[in-house]
Structure 1
Amino acid sequence: MTARLRLRQPLRSAVAALALTFASASACAADDAAQPPRVEFSGFATLGAVSTDNKDVWFARWGVNFPGDSDPDFSADSLIGLQASLRLTAYNAITLQALAMEDGSERQDPRITLAFFRQTLAPGLSMRIGRLRVPFFMLSDSLYINYANPWVRPPVEVYGLNPFNDLDGIDFIYHTRIGELDAEIHPYYGRGEIPFPEGKARLDETWGLNVALTQGNLSLHLGRGDGRFTFERGDAQFRAIAAVLRAAGQGSVVTDLSGAKGKTSFYSIGVQWDDGLWQTIGEYARRDANRYVPSAYGWYLSLGRRFGSVTPYVSVARQTLHKQFAEATLPPGRLATAWETFLTSRNNAQRSVTLGTRWDVSRQAALKAELTHARPDRDSWGSYFPRETPTTMRIGGRALNTLSISVDVNF
């Protein structure tokens, strides 16, 4: 593993601003005897393995990591993260988090996933600036901290719809009471980027609003985000299909496959009930895009029952294609087959049923195992990737079983 931290220019500026803020705030904090500065450290890690019963496909978490080429595959879920928070005064703090896991370009370089300065502006209201966790989903805050989640991984039918987890920008968090409800209102703005093999995806001018409502054992999440979308492809499959389209007089379609003029919207709603014995979690999310990626929506429902330190659970999930991102008119034959294969590879629609068990070995460690029975749609690869030539094998319509095991720790 290469131990290099790669910081983009906006993050360099943010880190420099944080350093200046730290210096000035530390000087002020030195006079605050009632609340001296203090540093808090924490960490989390997952060792996970996944295997499928069909050895001609690999399991894939699209946009999160590169499909593994070994069985079992340890790259899909394994990670380690460290976090440090410097509390300057009772009203402000600096948080840094570094994470090492495989990304979409098959690299495992450690990277900064959180780097923000937090300031309390008024009772119940705080501001954060820097690199933030973008709250697209109900469980975004615990997305990397697998120990906090009941499953080996959040259902890919929903959480695969938006692989952007970090934003360089600013947000505000306001806590208040509305009748008998605890409410959190969370607006945000920023940009994010994800590397891919020979390409990258980027969100710019991204703004959104999340609302969380809690009463007793019940919590509700509502979210909406919009942004400009860039998806620059440079892989061999894209170059080949672009050449096919141009040769068939469909060159204008290429601008819908790769470029920097996309727009996207994301919606999510989630509900959770947890009374200490039963745990029910459900979530719906929808991604709309005018180009580069399909528009799709997904949902899941999960039910778990605690028996002491052991929690068996069952989950059902579905992702559905709403609209493909490009259309081309090609004569029947090899060119049309190549185009259909390209579209199929970008479609992750599938349905699944998962049976699993979580064993809380201690307050800091959990062992999980789950078996997923998935069936990708006929024109989809679902959450799988072909080991053989894509044009000569079929994934869609098949029944695929995936076994996942993980050890999660939080320290």
Structure 2
Amino acid sequence: MKYSLAACFGAAALVMSLPSQAQDKIQWSGFGNIAAGMTTGSDDELFGYDNDVDFNPESLFALQAKANLSDKLSVTAQIMSRGSEDFDLGVEWAYLQYQLTDAASINVGKLRLPFYMYSDSLDVGYSYHWLRTPQSVYRVAFDNYTGVSFQHNAFVGNFIFNTQVIAGNMQDDIEAGGSEAAEAEMNNLIGFNTSAIYNNLTMRIAYYQTNDTNIHLNEIDGLLATLREAGAAQVASELEVSEDKGTFAGVGFMYDNFNWFVGGEYTELEVDGSYIPEQRSSYLTAGKRFEDWTLHATVGQTDDKVIDAERFSVPVPQLQAVINQVATQVISENTYTSVGANFNIAPSAVLKFDVTHSDDKLIDESDVLVSAAVQFVF
């Protein structure tokens, strides 16, 4: 849900008008990202940028408030304004947390989907070395869900284990395949992730599934309607993403001795019995720190597997062409290579530069994006 700037300023004014005793219980924090970029070719487009300098695609500001209701119960809310959404304000997080023990807690409300190693800090660019997280892997079109999350920390020998179990639902408008999807939703979503930390090494595994995935892309819905009108309703039904089982699995690692670092992630996403391809995504990254400077490089790739063509074959060439168009609409086979440099301009702010080269193997086209950003927390 988005709100006008005036409405949010009104809410802030209301908070500030509360009695001082109530205000003292609220802990305020925030972060921001002022980013600009442009592609080097007149026809190049990448990550929302084209060959004109643009500040909107990745600029954002967020404010977070946390209030302790008791020694064990707290409430947290985060509002964010994104340049990609005309700086309309929206609620990113809003949840209650109950501290069961020193090592375990439970959260209920609107939460971040913990698919990736950097999911919790996905929007906080200051917290990682990239200007943006690798788009080869961080490409699931939705970030949040409504439900419950249980977290537990444990020491086992020289290892620290952090385990998170979630359950809930997701409903949102998303973008995929260049078009906006209406009423995309996942119901009965469950899963877990576990991280193991040993000295400077962090290793992570994750698995999530839902038995009720529904995604309706405008462009593909039109193609499916064409199939139904032509008498291929059964094929259209099998291609449609409606109440289908979806799974997501991922592994990752990061070794960081505060002098140099190397890490990577690999993920797989599948939606059974639909046009959604089997998505295979990965990246490797490494870097070196020099006092206030950091230099780094990342290589990533997407390698999606098109749906079984024989399963959806029909004897009518015109219909087969429509089916093939549906099957390849959201396929991605890209290789990304990026190099970047960061400079700490303040204790809580960093200036970042990035050059990313994208090679689209499906259409044999490459793009180059040059970007810079100031990322900060407060």
Q: Work out whether 1:363 is the aligned partner of 2:363.
A: no
Whether the 8 Å contact between 2:44 and 2:51 is mirrored in structure 1 is no
Amino acid in structure 1 at the alignment position of 2:148: I
Deviation at 1:232, TM superposition (A): 4.0
- Residue 382 (structure 1) aligns with: none
- Residue 174 (structure 1) aligns with: 152
CA distance in 1, matches of 2:136, 2:232: 32
- Residue 183 (structure 1) aligns with: 161
- Residue 122 (structure 1) aligns with: 101
- Residue 92 (structure 1) aligns with: 73
- Residue 3 (structure 2) aligns with: 3
Whether the 8 Å contact between 1:157 and 1:349 is mirrored in structure 2 is no
Deviation at 1:172, TM superposition (A): 1.1
Q: Work out whether 1:147 is the aligned partner of 2:147.
A: no
Deviations 1:332-377 (A, max 9, x none): 9776555544443301221121111111111221111111122122
* Structure 1 residues 397 and 339, CA gap change in structure 2 (3 angstroms): farther
Whether the 8 Å contact between 1:201 and 1:229 is mirrored in structure 2 is no
Structure 1 residue ranges without an equivalent (≥5) = 6-28, 31-35, 61-66, 379-395
- Residue 374 (structure 1) aligns with: 358
Deviation at 1:247, TM superposition (A): 4.9
Whether the 8 Å contact between 1:293 and 1:325 is mirrored in structure 2 is no
Q: TM-score by structure 1 length?
A: 0.79
For residue 51 of structure 1, the aligned residue among 25, 33, 38 is 38
Deviation at 1:281, TM superposition (A): 1.8
Deviation at 1:102, TM superposition (A): 5.5
Amino acid in structure 1 at the alignment position of 2:110: R
Q: Work out whether 1:270 is the aligned partner of 2:252.
A: yes
Q: Work out whether 1:157 is the aligned partner of 2:136.
A: yes
Whether the 8 Å contact between 2:224 and 2:240 is mirrored in structure 1 is no
Where 2:105 maps in the other structure, the secondary structure is strand
Deviation at 1:249, TM superposition (A): 3.5
Deviation at 1:256, TM superposition (A): 4.1
Deviation at 1:156, TM superposition (A): 0.8
Cα RMSD (Å): 2.7
- Residue 298 (structure 2) aligns with: 315
* Structure 1 residues 206 and 50, CA gap change in structure 2 (3 angstroms): same
Structure 2 residue ranges without an equivalent (≥5) = 6-20, 175-179
Deviation at 1:260, TM superposition (A): 3.0
Q: Decide which moves more: 344-353 or 133-142.
A: 344-353
Amino acid in structure 2 at the alignment position of 1:280: V
Hey, which of these two has a bigger chunk of strand by percent? Answer: 2
Deviation at 1:404, TM superposition (A): 2.3
Amino acid in structure 2 at the alignment position of 1:156: Q
Where 1:142 maps in the other structure, the secondary structure is coil
Deviations 1:308-333 (A, max 9, x none): 11111011111111343876436797
- Residue 281 (structure 2) aligns with: 298
CA distance in 2, matches of 1:314, 1:68: 21
Whether the 8 Å contact between 1:294 and 1:325 is mirrored in structure 2 is no
- Residue 138 (structure 1) aligns with: 117
What count of residue pairs does the alignment treat as equivalent?
Answer: 355
Where 2:137 maps in the other structure, the secondary structure is helix
CA distance in 1, matches of 2:318, 2:131: 41
* Structure 1 residues 75 and 262, CA gap change in structure 2 (3 angstroms): farther
Deviations 1:361-395 (A, max 9, x none): 112211111111221222xxxxxxxxxxxxxxxxx
Deviations 1:99-130 (A, max 9, x none): 12266xx5653221111111111231111111
Whether the 8 Å contact between 1:295 and 1:325 is mirrored in structure 2 is no
Amino acid in structure 1 at the alignment position of 2:267: A
- Residue 82 (structure 1) aligns with: 63
CA distance in 1, matches of 2:328, 2:370: 24
Deviations 1:168-223 (A, max 9, x none): 11111111111110111111111112313361311111111111111221111111
For residue 222 of structure 1, the aligned residue among 192, 205, 214 is 205
Where 1:242 maps in the other structure, the secondary structure is helix
Amino acid in structure 1 at the alignment position of 2:278: S
CA distance in 1, matches of 2:329, 2:41: 18
* Matching of residues 277-292 of structure 1 within 5 Å: 277-290=259-272, 291-292=274-275
Where 1:46 maps in the other structure, the secondary structure is strand
* Structure 1 residues 206 and 214, CA gap change in structure 2 (3 angstroms): same
- Residue 38 (structure 1) aligns with: 25
CA distance in 1, matches of 2:49, 2:183: 19
CA distance in 1, matches of 2:289, 2:124: 20
Amino acid in structure 1 at the alignment position of 2:376: V
CA distance in 2, matches of 1:118, 1:233: 34
Deviation at 1:70, TM superposition (A): 7.3
- Residue 224 (structure 2) aligns with: 242
For residue 252 of structure 1, the aligned residue among 234, 242, 246 is 234
CA distance in 1, matches of 2:366, 2:217: 32
CA distance in 1, matches of 2:40, 2:172: 30
Amino acid in structure 1 at the alignment position of 2:105: S
Amino acid in structure 2 at the alignment position of 1:399: S
CA distance in 1, matches of 2:340, 2:221: 41
Where 1:140 maps in the other structure, the secondary structure is coil
Q: Work out whether 1:71 is the aligned partner of 2:52.
A: yes
Deviation at 1:55, TM superposition (A): 2.9
Q: TM-score by structure 2 length?
A: 0.85
Whether the 8 Å contact between 1:250 and 1:329 is mirrored in structure 2 is no
